[in-house]
Structure formats: structure tokens, C-alpha cells
């Protein structure tokens, strides 16, 4: 067992908590510093979810993925900044201040795993863990110019992840290279019976850049209204590179894209309303004022402990689940979600993977987007993969306005290896 010193110059506010020294043992990740997003439980290390309501909370146990990192010899050097409870696209919703993008400190790093992305992109760590509920790994990966992978739902245990929207979120790897993503996937995919949604499907794979004959579907809807033409051009250049490497490009349609964003936000806010009910000032974080009647203390603690965006989503979800509205909103959202799944199943009968932009624009300026609706629209290209539970990776594919652009590659359930192979083929093609 070795001890690694860690004293980063965190000029990007990438971390909420850092450890001056971290232990590293033998294994596949021996000596490698790794950042862990602050909604993943770490025994003896504060875990806040970027929220004041969990200030001072120190978990008594490790998440399954943290146990696996330690067994592989990784040195966990800190907890990375994030949008509060994973609710955001910029990491500006953190109670501990916004994270800055290393590609341009005047820009957001993306969210909600912005701290993990910034820590990797700036070189403070080689790898990081993020979580992805509607694009929270892939968005910051695209904005910061790194690689981020959302695994198939169920392939990585969520035991020890502080829940936001259980049916959507997934823990996944972030790194500067596809090879490191593959290495982390091999560590993270050990089966865990404590997670009832986990599937015993271990990843053991060496990325293969040979994609000759592979069929890549490109849905027209991924280049529709709201996608910056300069971003679209950079992504098409990336797709053309894959074609030159022998892949066949197939243009296709995905009609359910018209409903995906609405279905996602009704679903995730409804689940958040239920999940965040446990934060009552009694069991976690600073205590409520016990001199008040319980319902008043409960209300006061949540009002002061939760940020604006979290309160907004709790109220939206509570409304969608309320009597008389469940059928109008939540039930319809689930029907639309099924249409998204069906569209992917239909497409994967004729193509091997699907490609398009990760984000419709490059990283915007800090403080630029204050309207919640415009912020939510930024997730339009990432949420379909979460609704369907399929694997999706973002890999850097050039720049627009001098800022990174991400190419998103999606594949069928449990075909993470195929998705990673295509990303690796692209990465190798760019580097030569």
C-alpha cells in the first residue's frame, strides 16, 4: 500500500472536498488519482450532493463502485463539484459555487458532473466517476473536451449513489482517452446483488479500431432545430472520418425525439419528488429547529437547505404525481418513453450504432442561461439514451468557436463494447 500526496491548484473549483493524501494499492488502477462525484458515497469522506442540506454528512459505507476502485488500487483524491443533486446542465447550481471550464474559464463545464470533467480536462486527475441521469456525464465531457461514457442501465451498480431519478441514472467513467474509459469499465462492472436493477454482465474488452462494414445510423432529428450549424458541421466531419475508416453511414428517422425531452422532465422530476422527501432535517445534514412543530421545522429546513432548481423540480414532480394529474402527465410520459425505446429497437434492427452531436451548442458563458426552459432544451440530444437505458459515449470531435464539440455514439443494450470500439476508432483516426 502506497500513499499519494495530492495538493492541486484547483483554479476551476472542480472539487468540493480534497484529500491531502490518498492510499493506493496494487491493481489495474494502481497509483492513478481518481475523482469521485460528490453524490457517490465514500466512507469517512463528506458527501454533499452539492447541497447545503447534506452539509456535514459523512457516509459510514462506500458505494459499490468506490469499493471496486479501491480494490483496483486507485487513489481516490477527492469529491468533485456538481449541480445540486445532479439537477443541472452547467454545475452552476452547486451550493459550493460554480465550476469553470478548463477550455475557457469564462464558460460552464457542463453538468451535472462538471467537477469531474474539469478535474480530468485540467490534468488534476487522470480519471473520474460521474453520474448520468439525462446527459450529466456526456454533456460535461463534450463541453470540456474529454471522453465520457454512460453505460447500459444496470451494468454498473448504483448501490451507494444518492438517488435523484432511479429509473434513469447510471454511474459511469470519464477520462481523457477511450482506452482509459475501457479500463475503468472493466473495474466498475462487477456484479452487485445489493442493487436490484444490476445485471451480471461484466465488461472485459480491449478496444478495437476496426469498424469496416459497421452500419452507423444518423437520425435527421439529431441535426434539427436548435443545433448550432457549426457544431453540426464538426460532428458531420467526425462521422465522415468514420466513413473513411470503412463504416457505412445510414440516414434515418427517430420520430419520438419530439416527445423525449418532455417525457424525461416529467419522469425525472416525479422521481426526484419522491426520492428527496427523505431530506427532512432529522436523518441527514444540519438538524431542523426542534422547537417548532414538525411540519413547520420540516418546511423551514427544506426551504433553507435546497437550492432554487431543486425546489423547482420537486414542485414540478409533486404536481405531475398529484391526484387528477397523474394520468395527464406521468402516465403519458411513460407512454412517450416507451415510444423512444421502440424507436431505438427499430433502428438497431438495421444499424449497429447511432451517431450525432452530444450537445446542440458549445459551452455557454457562466451566467448566460437563466431561463430554466432554455437550459432544459440543452438536454434534447442526451436524454433519449437515458429514457431507453442504452449505452452512449461522447468523444471529442473538433472545435467550434475555439471550444470543444462532442460526437455522441449510442448502441443497443449491453453493447457498450461496440460503442467504445467506434469511439476508439474515431479517436485513433483523429490522432493519426
Query: Is 37 annotated in the active site?
Result: yes
Residue 256: phi and psi, rounded to 5, are -70, -10
Whether the CA torsion 314, 391, 123, 157 is positive or negative: it is: positive
| Candidate list 80, 112, 113, 270, residue with the active-site label | 112
The 3-state DSSP class for residue 113 equals coil
Q: β-pairing, 392-400 with 147-150?
A: antiparallel
| Distance separating alpha carbons of residues 150 and 143, to the nearest angstrom | 16
Judged on CB neighbours under 10 Å (0-12, 13-18, 19+), 309 is middle
Q: What are phi and psi of 402, to 5 degrees?
A: 80, 5
Please indicate whether residue 100 is annotated as part of the active site.
no
All three cell numbers of 115, joined, read: 467537477
- Cα dihedral 242, 247, 251, 253 sign: negative
Of 136, 270, 378, 394, the catalytic one is 136
136 is catalytic: yes
112 cis-preceded (ω within 30 degrees of 0) = yes
Sheet holding 15-18, edge to edge: 15-18, 75-80, 33-37, 127-132, 170-175, 147-150, 392-400, 403-410, 353-357, 215-219, 248-252
The secondary element (H helix, E strand) that includes residue 246 is none
Contact residues for 299 (Cβ-Cβ < 8 A; gap 6+): none
| CB 152, CB 120: distance < 8 Å | no
**Cell numbers given for 251:** 440516414
- Catalytic choice (24, 37, 256, 394): 37
User: Grid coordinates representing 331?
Assistant: 402516465
Q: How far, in Å, CA of 145 to CA of 101, rounded?
A: 10
Q: Which helix (H) or strand (E) holds 272?
A: helix 257-275
Q: How many residues does the chain have?
A: 432
Tell me the catalytic residues.
37, 112, 136
Amino acid at each position: 500500500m502506497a500513499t499519494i500526496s495530492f495538493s492541486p491548484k484547483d483554479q476551476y473549483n472542480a472539487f468540493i472536498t480534497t484529500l491531502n493524501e490518498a492510499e493506493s494499492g496494487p491493481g489495474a488502477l494502481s497509483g492513478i488519482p481518481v475523482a469521485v462525484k460528490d453524490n457517490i458515497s465514500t466512507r469517512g469522506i463528506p458527501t454533499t450532493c452539492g447541497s447545503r442540506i447534506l452539509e456535514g454528512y459523512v457516509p459510514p459505507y462506500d458505494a459499490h463502485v468506490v469499493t471496486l476502485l479501491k480494490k483496483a488500487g486507485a487513489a481516490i483524491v477527492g469529491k468533485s463539484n456538481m449541480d445540486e443533486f445532479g439537477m443541472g446542465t452547467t454545475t452552476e447550481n452547486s451550493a459550493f459555487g460554480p465550476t469553470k471550464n478548463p477550455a475557457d474559464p469564462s464558460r460552464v463545464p457542463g453538468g451535472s458532473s462538471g467537477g469531474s470533467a474539469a478535474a480530468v480536462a485540467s490534468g488534476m486527475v487522470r480519471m473520474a466517476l460521474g453520474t448520468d441521469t439525462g446527459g450529466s456525464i456526456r454533456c460535461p465531457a463534450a463541453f470540456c473536451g474529454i471522453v465520457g461514457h454512460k453505460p447500459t442501465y444496470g451494468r454498473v451498480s448504483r448501490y451507494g449513489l444518492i438517488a435523484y431519478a432511479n429509473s434513469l441514472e447510471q454511474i459511469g467513467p470519464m477520462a481523457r482517452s477511450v482506452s482509459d474509459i475501457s479500463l475503468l469499465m472493466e473495474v466498475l462492472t462487477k456484479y452487485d446483488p445489493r442493487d436490484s436493477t444490476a445485471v451480471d454482465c461484466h465488461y472485459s474488452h480491449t478496444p478495437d479500431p476496426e469498424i469496416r462494414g459497421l452500419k452507423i445510423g444518423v437520425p435527421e432529428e439529431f441535426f434539427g432545430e436548435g443545433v448550432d450549424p457549426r457544431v453540426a458541421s464538426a460532428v458531420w466531419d467526425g462521422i465522415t472520418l468514420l466513413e473513411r475508416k470503412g463504416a457505412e453511414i445510414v440516414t434515418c428517422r427517430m420520430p419520438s425525439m419530439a416527445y423525449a425531452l418532455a417525457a424525461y422532465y416529467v419522469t425525472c422530476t416525479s422521481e426526484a419528488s419522491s426520492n428527496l422527501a427523505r431530506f427532512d432535517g432529522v436523518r441527514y445534514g444540519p438538524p431542523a429547529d426542534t422547537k417548532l412543530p414538525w411540519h413547520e421545522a420540516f418546511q423551514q429546513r427544506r426551504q433553507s437547505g435546497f437550492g432554487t432548481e431543486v425546489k423547482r423540480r420537486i414542485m414540478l414532480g409533486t404536481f405531475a404525481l398529484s391526484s387528477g394529474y397523474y394520468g395527464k402527465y406521468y402516465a403519458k410520459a411513460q407512454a412517450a418513453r416507451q415510444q423512444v425505446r421502440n424507436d431505438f429497437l427499430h433502428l438497431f434492427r438495421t444499424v449497429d450504432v447511432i451517431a450525432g452531436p452530444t450537445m446542440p451548442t458549445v459551452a455557454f458563458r457562466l451566467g448566460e442561461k437563466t431561463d430554466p426552459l432554455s437550459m432544459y432544451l440543452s438536454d434534447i440530444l442526451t436524454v433519449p439514451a437515458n429514457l431507453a437505458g442504452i449505452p452512449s459515449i461522447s468523444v471529442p470531435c473538433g472545435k467550434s468557436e475555439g471550444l470543444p464539440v462532442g460526437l455522441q455514439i449510442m448502441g443497443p443494450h449491453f453493447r457498450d463494447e461496440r460503442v467504445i470500439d467506434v469511439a476508439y476508432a474515431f479517436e485513433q483516426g483523429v490522432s493519426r
